Amino acid sequence: MTTERRERARETQEQNTYREQPVQKQADYRNPPAPGRETYRERPVRERDEYGERPAQERRGRRSGARAAREEKQRRKEEIRKGYVSLLIRIVLLAAAGWLFLTQVFLITQVSGNGMFPAMKDGDLVFAFRLQQEYAKNDVVVYEVDGQEYIGRIAARGTDVVTLDDSGTLLVNGTVQSGEILYPTYAEGELEYPYAVPEGYVFVLGDYRTQTVDSRTLGAVPMGDVKGKVITILRRRGL
């Protein structure tokens, strides 16, 4: 009898324990936190990393890093843009300087024909200096007549008297001009000799006197039509 009562009492106790368990859990969930302890929602954001969230300071750091990366990228783009602008400005300045040198300081032209043979040959590249102030006898110059360029050697200047005789001898102011010219200088065109070169003009002849067009047919050349003094020659075979 006593044993039977003990078993019933144990069963009753186990049943009561089983029923009280969920109630206890519910009571634990509903019980307010102990004084001085904060709930999840009341905790500062900076302390929520304990619950699996990033602290606000870390998030701010990440945002600052992203902003710095964007600013660095923008800065690099700006530097690249400024570099291209600077390069473009340099190219424009170089082009302007080249245009200035080739149109105002130097002249580059190509020899056409053999009028200056043997000093120059057809196809040679000629560089002339435009800013020459004074031209002397025997200077080789580039000049223009009726829109066409010629190259020749100055034989006489303003006020000089040019004489060509039947033997092909050139005389300037009564002095024979031979120099290194290999060919005779015969009179051509409509000029009458002796011929006085007008002031402000030059009398220009080609070196290949029998196969050239020069002042004997074109007349004296005004100084304003002389484009420049030849300073160097680039031979055709070197091109």
What are 66-103's pLDDT values in tens digits? 888 888 889 999 999 999 999 999 999 999 998 888 88
Domain contains 133: yes
Task: Give the pair of three-digit tokens for residue 176.
Answer: 């024979």
Instruction: Answer whether residue 206 shows pLDDT above 60.
Output: yes
For residue 169, what is the domain's CATH number? 2.10.109.10
Asked whether residue 78 is assigned to any structural domain, the reply reads: no
202 lies in a domain? yes
| Upper half-sphere CA count for residue 142 (Cβ side, 13 Å) | 26
Question: Looking at residue 65, what is its pLDDT?
Answer: 77
Long-range CB contact pairs, 135-142, < 8 A, 24+: 135/202, 135/223, 135/226, 135/229, 137/172, 138/179, 139/229, 139/230, 140/116, 140/229, 140/230, 141/202, 141/204, 141/226, 141/227, 141/228, 141/229, 141/230, 142/107, 142/109, 142/226, 142/227, 142/228, 142/230
H helix intervals, the chain:
2-30, 56-100, 215-218
Strands 175-176 and 195-196, sheet pairing: unpaired
Structural domain boundaries enclosing 172 = 111-238
State how far Cα 14 lies from the chain centre: 96
Residue 82 lies in a domain: no
Position 34 scores a pLDDT of 57
Is there a contact between 209 and 116 (Cβ–Cβ < 8 Å)?
no
**Residue 27 domain-assigned?**
no
Tokens describing residue 147: 């829109």
Q: 198 in the Ramachandran plot: left (φ > 0), alpha (ψ -120 to 50) or beta?
A: beta
Region for residue 219 given its phi and psi (left: phi exceeds 0; alpha: psi -120 to 50; beta: otherwise): left
* Number of structural domains found in the chain: 1
Note whether residue 217 is domain-resident: yes
Q: Looking at residue 226, what is its pLDDT?
A: 97
The answer to whether residue 233 is domain-embedded is: yes
- 152: tokens are 């020749």
pLDDT confidence of residue 131: 93
Q: Can you give the pLDDT at residue 67?
A: 85
Q: Using pLDDT thresholds of 50, 70 and 90, give the confidence band for residue 24.
A: very low
DSSP 112: -
- Which band of pLDDT confidence, cut at 50, 70 and 90, is reported for residue 180? confident
What is the SS3 assignment for 32-45? CCCCCCCCCCCCCH
Mean pLDDT rounded to a whole number for the chain = 83
Structural domain includes residue 71? no
Does the predicted model carry a pTM greater than 0.85? no
The total of other beta-carbon atoms located within 10 Å of residue 72's CB is 10
